[in-house]
Amino acid sequence: MSADFKVKFLSFLAALWIRSLRVRFSVPEGYGPGVLGLWHQDLLASCAAFKDKDVHVLISESGDGELFAKTTERLGYRVSRGSDTHGSLNVRHLAKTLKEGGFVGMALDGPKGPALEVKPGSLWLSQVSGRPLWQICVRYGLHFRLKTWDNFIVPLPLSTIDVQIKYFLEVNENKP
């Protein structure tokens, strides 16, 4: 079995799994085009929440990223490959989408972490485009966690996830 066929088949199964999730939304007043920032651990839930909404996403160029890129394309996302360090020029494609009034998505903590620590890419995108940075907060129904650097969360098929969108506020620990 070729590697390309394997990726296509696995992306098909992953897209079915993600489409089975039941998503409930809560958005703030004034919610509109901007950067959708998520924690890496919440990738699957975020994919379910914004499927078929033409969101432009940045996905790492790793082997895992290849499977995830194929899966998100099946779910109606536009994909650019890279990260805020490797392939950082691709972040500029996302800036163009924002300037055209679209939504973009990327992991706040990047493809390698450390987990739950904000990297500069999403903040830069928000500033350069003049669009808000939204934080995706997820509450899970039935799920399990993988023992990975980000404690990746896998919601069980047909389970319900609650997605709350909030304005992202950068906390400056140096301020009193």
Residue 176, pLDDT above cutoff 70: no
Average pLDDT, the chain: 89
Q: Dihedral, CA atoms, 146, 10, 137, 58, nearest 10 degrees?
A: 110
Write down the pTM of the prediction: 0.89
High-pLDDT (> 90) share of the chain, %: 70
Residue 162: pLDDT band (50, 70, 90) is very high
In this predicted structure, what is the pLDDT of residue 83? Answer: 60
pLDDT tens digit sequence for 77-105: 999 987 655 555 677 889 999 999 999 99
Q: Copy the structure tokens of residue 139.
A: 């509450």
Arithmetic mean of pLDDT, 32-60: 95
